[in-house]
C-alpha cells in the first residue's frame, strides 16, 4: 500500500539546514490549525525526546494539538485488538539483550556468524524500507530461510524488532478501516521527516486527510530513533505529490561562530551556505592539554566555572565519540557530585550466559518483569537463556515448530509440554530436558517471590538535574548553552583506520560524510559556547588499547609515551 491510496491531503514541506527554523514553522502551522477549530491536530516527532520538547513549547493542557512520537503512535496502533489478529504478535520491542538472544537462536541455521549478522541487518533494513512489498525482494534461498526463521522466532517470543514497528503499524492501518479512521486527523504535522524510516514516512502520510505539514533537512542526518532513516523520502514524496508546496529555509538561528563551522561543512559537501541571523557572536574554544587525566580535569573545571556563572547543569552537554572516554569522564564527574544523564538506557550485554554472578542484575530484572506479567514470552526467553545456554537453545529449536503449529507463545508451549498436551513433542525428550528444568526453576522463583514488584512504574524516582553525556549522533536536534566535544583527537574522531588510510574508496568518502554530519550536528546544538578539548600524550599501552592514531613514540622515565595529534577536522573549526 502507498500512503496516498486512501488520502490526498494538501502537502506543505519546510526544507532547510540545521537550526533554520523548520520546527518553529511547524509549531506556527499547528497553532493556525488549532485556531480555525480543526477537530484534531496531530503533531508527530521522530523520537520520544523531541516529543517532550514540542509539548513544552505548546504548553497548554487543554490544547487540541496531540503530540506524539512515531514510535508511540505505532505502538498505540498495534495495541488495538484488531492489530493482533492482523500481525499475530504483540508490540513488545526487543531490547539489546533480547536482540542478542534472538541472534543466538538464529545461529542454529549453521550460517557463519559474520554472514548471518549481515543477512539479519539486510532483512531488517528491508522490513523498514517496505522492500517486502515486492515478493521477489529476497533473491536467494539463504535469505528466505533467515527471514522465515527470524519471523518464527519473533512469533514464538511474541515480540517485535524496532526496525519493523512502523511497518507493522502501516499494515494494520491499511487493512483495518476502524483503526485507520480512529487515528487519521485533518491536520498532521511531521518533524524530522528525513530521520524516519520509509515505513514511518508512509504511515504519517496515510494518517493525514486534509493538510500535511512536514519539516525535513536538506542534508543527510544520523539515526536518532529509527535505525534505518530513509534519506530519499523527500524525493519520493515530491515524485508522488508534484503539487507539494515547498518552502526553502536558508537562515540559521545560531551564533555566527557556529554558522561558520556549519557553512564550511556544507561547502565541503557541495551545499549552499546558510545565512546567520543571530546577533550573538558566540565563542569557540579549543584546548589540548597534556595527558588523558589532565583533559578530564580541565573539562571538570570548565563545567564548574560555567555553573558558577549561572549556567544550569541541564544546559550543558559533553560529547565524546569514544565509549571508554565517555565512561571515564562520567566517573570523574560523579566522583565530584555532578549528576550525569544519558539520552537512552545503558545497553546491557551478556558476556557469558553461564556466569550466574555476572548476570545477577539481568536475572533480577527478568523476574521483575515476570512478576508483573507471567505471560511475558520475551522475559521467559531471557530467563531460559541464562544458565546452560547451549542446551536451552537446542530445546528452543525443538520447541519452535510444534509451538507455532499450535499457535502458542513460548510460556504457553512450555505449559502445554509440561501437561503433555503439545503435539509432536513430549516432556521427557532429551532435547528439551534442560529447557524445562530452567522453566521450572523460574516458576519456583516466582512462587517464592513477593507478588508485589519492588519497582512501581507509576511512581518513578525523581531525576536530578545533570549534565548530558552522549555521542555526536545522540545530540542531534537538541540545544545547549555549553557544548564540550571532548577527546577531539585522531583515533577517536576520526578513527585510526580512517586517519591511516586503511579505509579507502567509496567507504572513505561515506565515512568522511558521516563525520562531517556529526560535527555539523554538534555545532548546531551550541547556542552560546562551543568547546573542543583533547589530549596530546598518553602511554603507548593506552593508545593501543583505545586504538588511537599515534604520531610518534618517546621514552619518558622508562615509560613509552605516545604523541597524539588533534583531530583531522580541527581545520574546519578555525
- Whether 118 and 23 map to the same domain: the answer is no
Residue 461 has pLDDT above 50, yes or no: no
DSSP 480: E
Q: At 345, is the secondary structure helix, strand, or coil?
A: coil
- Consecutive H or E run containing 404: helix 389-405
pLDDT tens sequence across 34-48: 777 677 899 999 988
- Whether 73 and 173 map to the same domain: the answer is yes
Cβ–Cβ < 8 Å for 540, 533: no
- Whether 420 and 524 map to the same domain: the answer is no
- The residues pairing with 42 across neighbouring beta strands, listed in sequence order, are 66, 188
List C-alpha distances in Å: 519 to 116, 220, 320, 360, 502: 33, 13, 11, 39, 22
Give the 3-state secondary structure percentages of the chain, helix then strand then coil, rounded to 5: 50, 15, 35
Cα separation, 367 vs 382, in Å, equals 10
Cα separation, 427 vs 558, in Å, equals 65
Domain coverage including residue 301: 258-339+464-572
Cβ–Cβ < 8 Å for 202, 226: no
DSSP 462: P
The confidence score (pLDDT) of residue 344 equals 64
pLDDT tens sequence across 317-360: 999 999 899 999 999 999 999 999 987 655 566 666 667 777 78
- Cis? peptide before 219, omega within 30° of 0: no
- Whether 453 and 390 map to the same domain: the answer is yes
Cα separation, 55 vs 69, in Å, equals 11
- Least confident residue range of 166-170, 461-465, 523-527: 461-465
3 is a domain residue: no
Tell me which of 448, 463, 478 is where a domain ends. Answer: 463
Tell me which of 437, 463, 489 is where a domain ends. Answer: 463
- Whether 455 and 422 map to the same domain: the answer is yes
Q: At 532, is the secondary structure helix, strand, or coil?
A: strand
2 is a domain residue: no
Phi/psi at 8 (5° precision): -135, 70
Tell me which of 227, 249, 271 is where a domain ends. Answer: 249
344 is a domain residue: no
The confidence score (pLDDT) of residue 450 equals 53
- Whether 286 and 186 map to the same domain: the answer is no
The confidence score (pLDDT) of residue 457 equals 46
Order the strands of the 559-564 sheet from edge to edge.
537-539, 559-564, 550-556
pLDDT tens sequence across 385-412: 887 666 577 888 889 999 999 999 999 9
217 is a domain residue: yes
345 against 49, higher pLDDT: 49
87 is a domain residue: no
Residue 453 has pLDDT above 50, yes or no: no
pLDDT tens sequence across 179-213: 999 999 999 999 999 999 999 999 999 999 999 99
- Consecutive H or E run containing 335: helix 323-335
- Whether 445 and 473 map to the same domain: the answer is no
1 is a domain residue: no
- Output the domain CATH number for residue 172: 3.40.50.300
The confidence score (pLDDT) of residue 59 equals 67
- Whether 494 and 546 map to the same domain: the answer is yes
293 is a domain residue: yes
Closest CA to 201 of 235, 151, 246: 235
Instruction: Label residue 43 left, alpha or beta by phi (over 0 means left) and psi (-120 to 50 means alpha).
Output: beta
The confidence score (pLDDT) of residue 96 equals 86
Cβ–Cβ < 8 Å for 94, 159: yes
The confidence score (pLDDT) of residue 431 equals 83
- Whether 153 and 192 map to the same domain: the answer is no
Cβ–Cβ < 8 Å for 266, 272: yes
- Whether 524 and 500 map to the same domain: the answer is yes
- Read off the pLDDT band of 283 (50, 70, 90): confident
Residue 248 has pLDDT above 90, yes or no: yes
Cα separation, 31 vs 520, in Å, equals 30
Phi/psi at 373 (5° precision): -145, 95
Please state the rounded mean pLDDT for residues 530-543: 92
User: pTM value?
Assistant: 0.84
Report the chain's C-alpha Rg in angstroms: 26
Instruction: Label residue 130 left, alpha or beta by phi (over 0 means left) and psi (-120 to 50 means alpha).
Output: left
The confidence score (pLDDT) of residue 306 equals 93
DSSP 112: -
Cα separation, 377 vs 412, in Å, equals 9
| Domain count across the chain | 3
- Whether 376 and 450 map to the same domain: the answer is yes
Residue 460 has pLDDT above 50, yes or no: no
424 is a domain residue: yes
Contacts of residue 311, defined as CB under 8 A and 6 or more positions apart, other chains included, come to 481, 482
- Whether 111 and 220 map to the same domain: the answer is no
Amino acid at each position: 500500500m502507498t500512503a496516498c491510496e486512501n488520502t490526498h491531503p494538501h502537502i506543505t514541506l519546510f526544507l532547510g539546514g540545521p537550526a533554520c527554523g523548520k520546527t518553529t514553522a511547524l509549531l506556527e502551522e499547528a497553532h493556525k490549525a488549532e485556531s480555525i477549530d480543526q477537530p484534531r491536530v496531530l503533531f508527530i516527532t521522530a523520537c520520544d525526546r523531541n516529543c517532550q520538547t514540542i509539548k513544552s513549547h505548546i504548553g497548554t493542557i487543554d490544547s487540541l494539538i496531540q503530540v506524539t512520537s512515531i514510535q508511540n503512535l505505532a505502538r498505540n496502533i498495534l495495541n488495538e485488538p484488531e492489530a493482533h489478529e492482523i500481525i499475530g504478535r504483540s508490540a513488545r520491542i526487543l531490547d539489546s539483550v533480547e536482540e542478542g538472544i534472538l541472534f543466538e537462536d538464529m545461529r542454529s541455521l549453521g550460517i557463519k556468524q559474520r554472514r548471518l549478522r549481515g543477512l539479519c541487518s539486510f532483512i531488517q533494513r528491508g522490513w523498514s524500507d517496505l522492500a517486502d512489498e515486492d515478493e521477489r525482494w529476497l533473491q536467494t534461498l539463504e535469505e528466505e530461510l533467515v527471514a522465515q526463521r527470524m519471523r518464527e522466532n519473533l512469533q514464538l517470543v511474541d515480540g517485535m524488532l524496532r526496525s519493523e514497528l512502523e511497518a507493522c503499524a502501516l499494515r494494520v492501518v491499511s487493512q483495518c478501516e476502524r483503526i485507520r479512521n480512529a487515528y487519521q486527523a485533518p491536520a498532521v504535522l511531521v518533524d524530522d521527516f528525513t530521520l524516519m524510516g520509509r515505513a514511518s514516512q508512509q504511515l504519517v502520510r496515510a494518517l493525514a486527510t486534509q493538510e500535511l505539514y512536514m519539516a525535513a533537512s536538506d542534508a543527510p542526518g544520523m539515526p536518532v530513533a529509527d535505525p534505518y532513516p530513509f534519506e530519499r523520502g523527500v524525493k519520493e514524496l515530491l515524485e508522488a505529490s508534484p503539487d507539494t508546496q515547498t518552502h526553502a529555509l536558508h537562515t540559521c538561528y545560531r551564533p555566527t561562530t557556529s554558522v561558520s563551522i556549519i557553512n564550511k561543512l556544507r561547502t565541503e559537501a557541495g551545499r549552499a551556505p546558510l545565512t546567520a541571523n543571530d546577533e550573538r557572536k558566540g565563542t569557540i574554544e579549543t584546548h589540548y592539554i597534556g595527558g588523558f587525566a589532565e583533559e578530564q580535569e580541565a573539562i571538570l573545571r570548565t563545567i564548574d566555572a560555567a555553573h558558577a556563572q549561572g549556567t544550569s547543569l541541564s544546559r550543558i552537554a559533553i560529547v565524546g565519540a569514544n565509549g571508554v572516554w565517555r565512561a571515564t569522564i562520567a566517573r570523574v564527574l560523579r566522583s565530584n557530585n555532578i549528576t550525569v544523564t544519558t539520552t537512552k538506557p545503558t545497553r546491557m550485554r551478556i558476556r557469558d550466559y553461564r556466569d550466574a554472578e555476572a548476570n545477577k542484575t539481568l536475572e533480577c530484572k527478568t523476574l521483575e518483569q515476570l512478576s508483573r506479567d507471567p505471560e511475558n514470552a520475551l522475559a521467559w526467553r531471557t530467563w531460559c537463556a541464562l544458565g546452560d545456554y547451549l542446551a536451552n537453545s537446542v530445546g528452543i529449536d525443538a520447541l519452535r515448530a510444534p509451538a507455532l503449529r499450535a499457535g502458542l507463545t513460548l510460556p504457553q508451549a512450555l505449559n502445554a509440554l509440561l501437561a503433555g498436551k503439545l503435539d509432536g513433542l513430549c516432556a521427557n525428550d532429551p532435547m528439551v530436558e534442560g529447557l524445562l528444568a530452567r522453566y521450572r526453576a523460574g516458576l519456583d522463583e516466582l512462587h517464592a517471590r513477593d507478588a508485589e514488584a519492588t519497582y512501581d512504574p507509576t511512581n518513578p524516582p525523581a531525576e536530578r538535574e545533570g549534565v548530558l553525556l552522549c555521542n555526536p549522533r545522540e545530540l542531534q536536534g537538541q540545544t545547549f548553552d555549553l557544548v564540550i566535544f571532548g577527546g577531539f583527537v585522531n583515533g577517536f574522531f576520526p578513527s585510526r583506520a580512517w586517519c591511516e588510510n586503511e579505509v579507502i574508496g567509496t567507504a572513505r568518502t561515506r565515512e568522511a560524510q558521516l563525520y562531517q554530519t556529526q560535527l555539523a550536528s554538534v555545532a548546531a546544538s551550541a547556542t552560546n559556547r562551543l568547546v573542543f578539548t583533547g589530549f596530546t600524550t598518553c602511554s603507548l599501552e593506552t593508545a593501543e588499547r583505545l586504538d588511537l592514531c599515534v604520531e610518534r613514540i618517546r621514552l619518558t622515565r622508562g615509560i613509552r609515551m605516545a604523541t597524539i595529534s588533534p583531530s583531522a577536522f580541527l581545520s574546519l573549526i578555525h
